[in-house]
Amino acid sequence: MSNQYSSHGSSSSSNSNSNSNSSSSTDNNAHFQRNSYNNQNNNLVHNIDPSSNTFKAPLPKPYHLPQRQVTMWETEDRSRIQPNHTRRASETIQKSLISQTLFPYQPMSGIHALSPTDNSVQQMYVTEPDEDPMQHLVLLPLGKTGAGKSSLLNIMLGYNEFKAKAAAKSVTDCITERTGMWTIDQTETVITIADTPGFADSMNRDEQFLSSFQDYILDIGQRLGIDSFLLVFQCDSATNNIMLILDHFNSMMEQKFPCQNNWWDHVMLVFTRVDYFPNLKFPANILGKKQSIMESLIPDIQAKYRLKAPPKYAFVSSKTPNCSFNKKGQCDCFAASKYHLDQMRTLKSRINSILTDNGGRWVPA
């Protein structure tokens, strides 16, 4: 019985094997006939050349070529993903470039290697968005000898670049131009500044310096333009001396640039020696002088030179603060540093307002 079953099983298995072989060959033929491979040439299978062990035809290609995936910038709801505005134009260029030149999948034919298209790597690297460009201010300080021009510029640069001395004798006998960084609240601004000899020079060299001032103003005005003329005075200066310096400046500019008088729109009055006092308890003379400048001097300047608006002004200190702890008091280094920083913020803000009101720099006609 078992033999019958075994013989029957063996015969059935042999039959099934033969049937499976025949069916598999049939399936292979059918699979080939259904064009499972992308055979543009019907003769995909060739005999091996007896003289060499190489095939005479390239490897078959896959029938379904992979497609490049849709990027986030190509979807219709990209307005939901991206902000409504773009900070930099380079970001727009970058996104359009990436959406157009992302590496598409390429079909492999034979032994040819894949290669990037249109140098996409280099283009994508070049169009990487850069940081916003830094602001560049061109400032020209002018004022009487000892007014504190050099000290003011040293504070703006953050180091002692120019000679500064509180004396009646001028320590500056030529115009020295420098370019550096003005850092406020961790924001860097490129500044081009010039240390100049004083008006009403202590050595009676006004006529000698006059042509130098005019030539330099013309040169830097044509080369860069001037954002602001910083007319520097000591806060406790007499009103007559301040008006004398302003008359000197006005006549110098009218003599050199008779066809335009818009330089007054770029004038910034800077009053120095408004130093820090502990707990901001300023002496009465300093408070009275500041009030006189704001309420009397500024309107008088506007009326005398027929200005459209009152000139901008700022109070600064060019003195290094001395901690009260050295005088057996409480440490006020933080308060003193904040006081000086607020002065620089005000000065820069009002220089920027000059540019906003006048649409840019002053350039000689």
Is pLDDT of 89 > 50? no
φ/ψ of residue 30, rounded to 5: -65, -40
Amino acid, single-letter form, for residue 25? S
φ/ψ of residue 247, rounded to 5: -65, -40
Interatomic CA distance for residues 271 and 297, integer angstroms: 12
Interatomic CA distance for residues 311 and 308, integer angstroms: 9
Helices (H), the chain: 2-33, 78-81, 89-101, 120-126, 149-157, 206-223, 239-256, 284-292, 298-304, 333-358
Contact by Cβ (8 Å): 145, 169: yes
Lowest mean pLDDT among 38-47, 184-193, 224-233: 38-47
Q: Quick one: which of 252, 234, 254 has its CA closest to 242?
A: 234
pLDDT, mean of residues 268-288: 92
Contact by Cβ (8 Å): 312, 354: yes
Reading the block at residue 251, the tokens are 């006549």
Q: For residue 107, what are the CA distances in angstroms to 11, 70, 101, 118, 187?
A: 49, 18, 17, 17, 52
Reading the block at residue 130, the tokens are 């850069």
Interatomic CA distance for residues 220 and 263, integer angstroms: 14
Contact by Cβ (8 Å): 245, 231: yes
pLDDT at 140: 95
Interatomic CA distance for residues 301 and 290, integer angstroms: 15
What would the pLDDT profile of 185-210 be if each residue is shown by its tens digit? 989 999 999 998 887 665 556 677 88
* Residue 150 neighbours by CB under 8 Å, 6+ apart: 162, 163, 164, 165, 171, 172, 195
- Burial category of 332 from C-beta neighbours within 10 Å (exposed 0-12, middle 13-18, buried 19 and up): buried
CA 278 to chain centre: 38
pLDDT at 16: 47
What would the pLDDT profile of 134-152 be if each residue is shown by its tens digit? 899 999 999 988 899 999 9
pLDDT at 78: 47
Is pLDDT of 288 > 50? yes
How many C-beta atoms surround the C-beta of residue 343 within 10 A?
19
* Residue 309 neighbours by CB under 8 Å, 6+ apart: 302, 357
- Across-strand partners of 52? none
User: What is the reported pTM?
Assistant: 0.63
Separate counts of helices (H) and strands (E) for the chain = 10, 6
Q: Which residue has the tokens 């979807």?
A: 75
pLDDT, mean of residues 147-173: 78
